[in-house]
A and B are shown apart, each in its own frame.
Chain A
Amino acid sequence: ILNVEQSPQSLHVQEGDSTNFTCSFPSSNFYALHWYRWETAKSPEALFVMTLNGDEKKKGRISATLNTKEGYSYLYIKGSQPEDSATYLCAFGNTDKLIFGTGTRLQVFP
């Protein structure tokens, strides 16, 4: 059974704080690692898809890194804003399937 774990489960930060989350996944049969942003009452939206060991992706204040050999990825948010409040999902890509973690719920207080 493929297991994708995310930590922490939830996080409360003040506006302006920087924060990061972890996604752990199997280090064998790796195809891709995805990050999605999921706001309440909406659908998940893709942030990044990473495929190579050492990949780093950036979109505005959000960035992600990938280590396929040890099976982890980090998502960083610099200078958190209230609009960053959402659940952040990672997903491990294995052949034709994505296995999702349970997410990190981020709340940013003004």
Chain B
Amino acid sequence: NAGVTQTPKFQVLKTGQSMTLQCAQDMNHEYMSWYRQDPGMGLRLIHYSVGAGITDQGEVPNGYNVSRSTTEDFPLRLLSAAPSQTSVYFCASSYSRGTDTQYFGPGTRLTVL
């Protein structure tokens, strides 16, 4: 099993550009989520999904969109990048609930100029 994979590993954007961060898991997990990690702030939940076709907002959803068309994939879209979105983004998955053990991807480091 590859576990949770994320692409790209690094990305530099200009303010106003859009992009999609990819996340996939091969463990047949129902629950997937996106976090951002900023210095001194810990991991903050952006969006999550409890299954294909179902998504919901976390603590810091503004500026991000998600969809879940398959069990395996959970892409995160930045519609119009802002410098405040400079961060490290982690995707995670768990068997069925948000309170189950989370398995994290390797992260994407995003810089918005």
- How many pairs, one residue from A and one from B, have CB atoms within 8 Å of each other in the complex? 58
Q: B41 to A102, Cβ gap below 8 A?
A: yes
Contact residues of B with A, CB < 8 Å?
31, 33, 35, 40-45, 48, 50, 56, 58-59, 90, 97-107
Q: B98 to A43, Cβ gap below 8 A?
A: no
Contact residues of A with B, CB < 8 Å?
31-32, 34, 36, 42-46, 49, 89, 91, 93-103
Q: In the complex, what residues of B have CB within 8 A of residue A100's CB?
A: 35, 42-44
**Closest CB in chain B relative to A93 CB, distance in Å:** 3
Cα A103 to Cα B35 with chains together (Å): 15
**Given A100-B42, A100-B43, A103-B42, A95-B106 contact (CB < 8 Å):** no
Q: Is the interface of A mostly helix, strand, loop or mixed?
A: strand
Cα A31 to Cα B94 with chains together (Å): 15
Q: In the complex, what residues of B have CB within 8 A of residue A31's CB?
A: 99
Q: In the complex, what residues of A have CB within 8 A of residue B101's CB?
A: 34, 46, 49
In the complex, residue of chain A having the shortest beta-carbon distance to the beta carbon of B105: A43
Say which residue of A44, A46, A89, A93 sits within 8 Å of B98 (CB atoms): A93
